[in-house]
Amino acid sequence: MGILEKISEIEKEIARTQKNKATEYHLGLLKAKLAKYRSQLLEPPKKSEKGEGFDVLKSGDARVALIGFPSVGKSTLLSTLTATESEAASYEFTTLTCIPGVIDYKGANIQLLDLPGIIEGASQGKGRGRQVIAVARTADLVLMMLDATKQDVQRGLLEKELESVGIRLNKKKPNIYFKVKKGGGLSFNSTCPLTRIDEKLVQMILHEYKIFNAEVLFREDCNADELIDVISANRVYLPCLYVYNKIDQISIEEVDRIARQPNSVVVSCNMKLNLDYLLEQLWEYLSLIRVYTKKPGDPPDFDDGLILRRGVTVEHVCHAIHRTLAAAFKYALVWGTSTKYSPQRVGVHHIMHDEDVIQVVKK
């Protein structure tokens, strides 16, 4: 019995099991087995023949992966937003490899990857699905292209495919401390009341992974799936933006309904509708900020800003300017919204905001 058959057997078993208090341990065990087999499926076989991968060098300030079914307008979006031309035609699977393009927005270079269309069963390796998903794991943001004329069918299917290979969209990492120990059995603790899991289930799941000595501390009320994610330790938590294309083919009421859903943007690549708002949202979801530098006695250099992530400190800015600067740092003067008054003299732990100006004074 191959791994795929085992996975389908367990999925059928989960589907036909009633969900109640008596079966929760049984379901927890099944989920742990399922996660184990799926991670085996993702690992490449030991002796694999050399295939053509999608290795694209990571460049620019951020990386965005375009994922979607065939013929939803991924290549058209890439050609419209970037200077790269990706072949687009009215038949499926026009794009066969990964085509990178660069969006120049607010001085940042954002790498946009046009990936081949995903089909159902991609997580099991259908239609080069595994390579597509491997590239998506390395991105900073997933842009999920959906056809607005097809309702929410595509979204559900794609989420399921990505979920089964360990990509969690728009979710936070579960706040569970987990450490395997040499001996001493299972030490189980929680800092809040647990309603969806108990010690017995935790023990059973760990036994399924052949872990008998461990320390588990729950800092929030999590369920069995989230515990399995923490034990597997190969999950990727990515922000995702759902882009509904072809809105020129549906009614305005439908467009209004879709646009009000969380994390969703409606566009039309063909008629170039709403693409500027898409770029704004892209910037927001990638949580990028610009920091400008200033030399003493000179005006700030607004042409060449540093592109950093939200929540960076002055120390990060010093490293971005030059690696030796942080060691020789004395203090910095900052102008902008992160200060109480401008200029404010700050230390290395001061958090920068978008469009702040900084002048570093060395020892």
pLDDT in tens, 191-222: 988 888 888 888 888 888 888 888 989 898 88
Per-position b or e across 315-327, b if 16+ CB within 10 A of its CB: bbbbebeeeeebe
27, 13, 4: which is closest to 196 by C-alpha? 27
Note whether 66 and 140 are same-domain residues: yes
Environment class of residue 101 by beta-carbon count within 10 Å: exposed (0-12), middle (13-18) or buried (19+)?
A: buried
Per-residue pLDDT, 343 = 86
Per-residue pLDDT, 44 = 59
Note whether 264 and 141 are same-domain residues: yes
51, 127, 54, 130: which is closest to 92 by C-alpha? 127
Note whether 187 and 316 are same-domain residues: no
Per-residue pLDDT, 259 = 82
Note whether 67 and 155 are same-domain residues: yes
Show the domain range for 159: 62-171+237-285
Note whether 164 and 83 are same-domain residues: yes
Task: Please identify every stretch of the chain with a pLDDT value under 70, giving residue numbers as ranges.
Answer: 1, 42-55, 85-96, 118-130, 151
Per-residue pLDDT, 69 = 80
Question: Would you say the C-alpha torsion 69, 71, 72, 76 has a positive or negative sign?
Answer: positive
| DSSP state, residue 269 | T
193 within domain boundaries: yes
54 within domain boundaries: no
Residue 244's CATH number: 3.40.50.300
Q: Cα separation of 46 and 134, whole Å?
A: 17
Residue 311's CATH number: 3.10.20.30
Q: Cα separation of 218 and 110, whole Å?
A: 37
230, 24, 41, 272: which is closest to 134 by C-alpha? 41
Note whether 112 and 243 are same-domain residues: yes
Note whether 9 and 26 are same-domain residues: yes
Per-residue pLDDT, 348 = 87
With a CB cutoff of 8 Å and minimum separation 6, the contacts of 243 are 77, 143, 144, 145, 146, 264, 265, 266, 267, 278
Q: Cα separation of 335 and 200, whole Å?
A: 56
Q: How many CA atoms lie within 13 A of 359 on its CB side?
A: 14
80 within domain boundaries: yes
Per-position b or e across 40-55, b if 16+ CB within 10 A of its CB: ebbeeeeeeeeeeebe
What are 129-138's pLDDT values in tens digits? 667 777 778 8
Environment class of residue 188 by beta-carbon count within 10 Å: exposed (0-12), middle (13-18) or buried (19+)?
A: middle
Per-residue pLDDT, 243 = 87
Q: Between β-strands 306-309 and 264-266, what pairing exists: parallel, antiparallel or unpaired?
A: unpaired
